[in-house]
Amino acid sequence: MIGKWAPRTGAPRTGVDKFLTLLRVVAIGLIVVGLAAFIAQEINTDNAFARWANPDATGLSGAGFRGLVIAGISQGAMYGLIALGYSMVYGVLGFINFAHGEVFMMGAMTGWVTSTKLAEAGLWESNFVGSFVIVLFGSILVSTFLAVVMERVAYRPLRGAPRLIPLITSIGVSFFIQNMSIVLFGPATKSYPARPDWVKNKHTALQIEGDKIMVIAAAAVSMILLWYLVERTKVGKAMRAVAEDAEIAALMGINVNRTIVTVFAVGGAFAGIAGIMWGIDFGSVIGHTGFLPGIKAFSSAVVGGIGHLGGAMVGGLFIGIAEAVGPLLILEPLGVRGVSQLRDAVAFAMLIGVLLVRPSGIFGERLRAEDRT
C-alpha cells in the first residue's frame, strides 16, 4: 500500500526543498523573461526592453517561425513513435528499455540498405511509392525481429530481478547493437538515395514539405492502428491485463510471455516506422543515430505520462516543438549566442523540468500495480 514515501505538501523544510523551490522559480522566471523579451523584440527590436535583453536581437519572421514549428512537429511525431515502445515496455515490465533507440536506428539502417539496393535497380526513381512501401515493410520487419530477439535473449531471463538490473542490461544491449552496426556496416555516414522532388517541395497553404507531411501522416495512421489494437482486440486486452498485473493475468489464462513478446514486437514495429521516417526526412543514418532520439523519446514518454500511449505521442510533439522553438523563443531573446547548439540541452532541461514539476507526466502514469507509488 505504501510504496515510496511522498514528501508532504506545506512549507519547505530541508535545504534540498528550498533549493528546488529556488530552481523552479528561476526556471519559470527565465521562461517568462525570455518570452517577454521575444515578444518585445517581435514588436520592435529597438524598444528599450528588447535592447536590454539582447542588443543584437533581430526578431523572427513569421515564415521562419512557422517553419520551425512544422519541423518541430514532424520531429516530435518521430519521437512519439519511438516513445510508444518505451511507454509500452515500461507499462508492462516496469523498466526502461534503453536499447529501444537502437531498434529505431536499425530500422533506419535497414531502410538505407533496401533503398540503396532499390535505387541501384532503378526502382527508387521510377516507382517511389512502391519502393517506399517495400522499404517501410523491410524496416518494420527487421526492427520487430530485433526487438523480439532482444526480449528473448536479454530480458526474459531477468524477469523479477531487482529493478535496475534489466536497465543496466539494456544499456549493454544498446551499446552492443550500436557498435554491431558500426562493425558490420562501417563507421561512415550512410546516405539515402535522392528523393523525388515532390517529397522535397512545399505543399498546401501552410507550406509544409512533403517529407514532413509523410512523417505526420505516418504517425497519425500508426496511432489509429495502435489505438485499435490496444482497445478493440483480444491481444490488446491481454496487453492491458498484463500491464495491470501479470500474475493475475496469468491466472486468468493469458499467455504472459506471448503478450510481452507482442508488446516488444509492436514497439519495435513503430520504431521501424520512425526509423524510415528519419531516413526520408534527414537523408542519412549512422550507428549513433539512435542514441539521442532514443533518450528524447523516453523523455517524451515520461512527459506524456509513462504507460499512457496517447500521452507518449503528445509528449513527443511537446519535446519536438520545444527543442525546435525553445532556444529561439527563450534563449536567443536573452542574448545567448549560438542557440541552435543548445537544442539537445533544451530537450534534456525539458525532461528535468517536467520531472521536477509533475513527475507523473501530463496525463498521469499508468504503471504495473507493484510500481505504483
Partner 1 sequence: MNSGVAVLEIRDLTIDFGGLKALNSLNMEVYEGEIVSVIGPNGAGKTTLFNAISAMVPVTSGDIVFEGSSLLGLDPNQVTARGLARTFQNVRLFTNMTILENVMVAQHCRTRQGAIGALLNTRGFRSEEDQIRAQGEKVLGFFGSRLVGFRLNQPASVLSYANRRRLEIARAMATQPKLLLLDEPVAGMNPVESAELTRLIGRLRDEWDFTIVFIEHDMSVVRDVSDRVVVLNHGELLTEGDYADVSVDPRVIEAYLGQDTIIEDATAS
Partner 2 sequence: MTATEMRPGTAPEPELAPPRRALDQNWRRLVRMGAVAALVEVFIALSGMPVRLDERPVIVSILSLGYVFIGAIPIVVGNRIGRQVRREGVPIHKAGGYELLAGTLAGAIAGAGLSVLVALLTHFDIREPLVNWSPQLLELLSFNRGTVFGVLIWLGIGAVGGFIGGGLRLLPARLRRTLLTMATTVVLISILEQLVADLVSGVRLESVADWFYGRRGGLTHSGAGVIAAIAGVASFFGRGRLKAARAHVQSLEGPARTRATSLMILLTAAVLIVVPMLVGSLTNELLANVGLFVLLALGLNIVVGLAGILDLGYVAFFAVGSYTAAVLTAATSPRINPEFPWFVALIFVVIVTGLVGLFIGAPVIRMRGDYLAIVTLGFGEIIRLLFLSDWLSGWFGGAQGITAIGGVEIFGITTVDGTNPRGVFYLVLVFCAIAIYVSWRLERSRLGRAWMAVREDETVAEAMGINTVNVKLLAFVVGAVLGSFSGAIFANKVGSVFPSSFLILVSMVILVVVIFGGMGSIVGVIAGAALLIGVLGGPKQPGLLAEFSEFKLLIYGALLVWMMLARPEGLIPSARRTRELHQEEFLQDAWLRGEVDTDDGDGNESEATERP
Within residues 49-108, the interface with partner 2 by CB under 8 A covers: 95-96
Distance from C-alpha of 215 to C-alpha of 276, rounded to nearest angstrom: 9
Residue 1 makes contact with partner 2 by CB under 8 A: no
What would the x/- binding string for partner 1 be over residues 12 to 51, using CB under 8 A? Answer: -xx-------------------------------------
Q: Residue 82 in 3-state DSSP?
A: helix
Residue 1 makes contact with partner 1 by CB under 8 A: yes
The one of partner 2, partner 1, none whose footprint includes residue 172, by CB under 5 to 8 A per kind, is partner 2
Q: Give the long-range contacts of residues 64-72, CB within 8 A, separation 24 or more.
A: 65/325, 66/206, 66/207, 67/207, 68/324, 68/325, 68/328, 69/321, 69/324, 69/325, 70/206, 70/208, 70/209, 70/212, 71/212, 71/324, 72/317, 72/320, 72/321, 72/322, 72/323, 72/324, 72/325
Is the distance from CB of 85 to CB of 271 less than 8 angstroms? yes
Residue 117 makes contact with partner 2 by CB under 8 A: yes
Within residues 344-363, the interface with partner 2 by CB under 8 A covers: 344-345, 348-349, 351-352, 355-356, 359
Residue from 49, 53, 80 nearest 296 by CA: 80
Residue 342 makes contact with partner 2 by CB under 8 A: yes
Interface with partner 1 (CB under 8 A), residue total 11
Considering the complex, what minimum distance in angstroms separates the CB of residue 256 from partner 1?
Answer: 25
What would the x/- binding string for partner 1 be over residues 157 to 196, using CB under 8 A? Answer: ----------------------------------------
Name the segment binding partner 1 (CB under 8 A); options: 1-9, 32-40, 266-274, 329-337: 1-9
Pair type for strands 284-285 and 190-191? antiparallel
Residue 341 makes contact with partner 2 by CB under 8 A: yes
Element (H, E) at 21: helix 15-43
Cβ atoms within 10 Å of 9's Cβ, excluding its own: 5
Considering the complex, what minimum distance in angstroms separates the CB of residue 358 from partner 1?
Answer: 16
Considering the complex, what minimum distance in angstroms separates the CB of residue 172 from partner 1?
Answer: 24
The one of partner 2, partner 1, none whose footprint includes residue 253, by CB under 5 to 8 A per kind, is none
Residue 8 makes contact with partner 1 by CB under 8 A: yes
The one of partner 2, partner 1, none whose footprint includes residue 164, by CB under 5 to 8 A per kind, is partner 2
Considering the complex, what minimum distance in angstroms separates the CB of residue 303 from partner 1?
Answer: 23
Name the segment binding partner 1 (CB under 8 A); options: 8-16, 99-107, 147-155, 294-302: 8-16
Interface with partner 2 (CB under 8 A), residue total 63
Residue 11 makes contact with partner 1 by CB under 8 A: yes
Q: CA 23 from chain center: how many Å? A: 26
Is the distance from CB of 94 to CB of 367 less than 8 angstroms? yes
The one of partner 1, partner 2, none whose footprint includes residue 1, by CB under 5 to 8 A per kind, is partner 1
Is the distance from CB of 244 to CB of 256 less than 8 angstroms? no
Residue 251 makes contact with partner 1 by CB under 8 A: no
Core vs surface per residue 133-159: b (16+ CB within 10 A) or e:
ebbbebbbebbbbbbbebbeebbeebe
* Phi, psi angles (nearest 5°) of residue 272: -60, -45
* Phi, psi angles (nearest 5°) of residue 206: -85, 0
The one of partner 1, partner 2, none whose footprint includes residue 64, by CB under 5 to 8 A per kind, is none
Angle of helix 100-120 versus helix 164-185 axis, rounded to 10: 20
Residues that bind partner 1 (CB under 8 A): 1-2, 5-11, 13-14
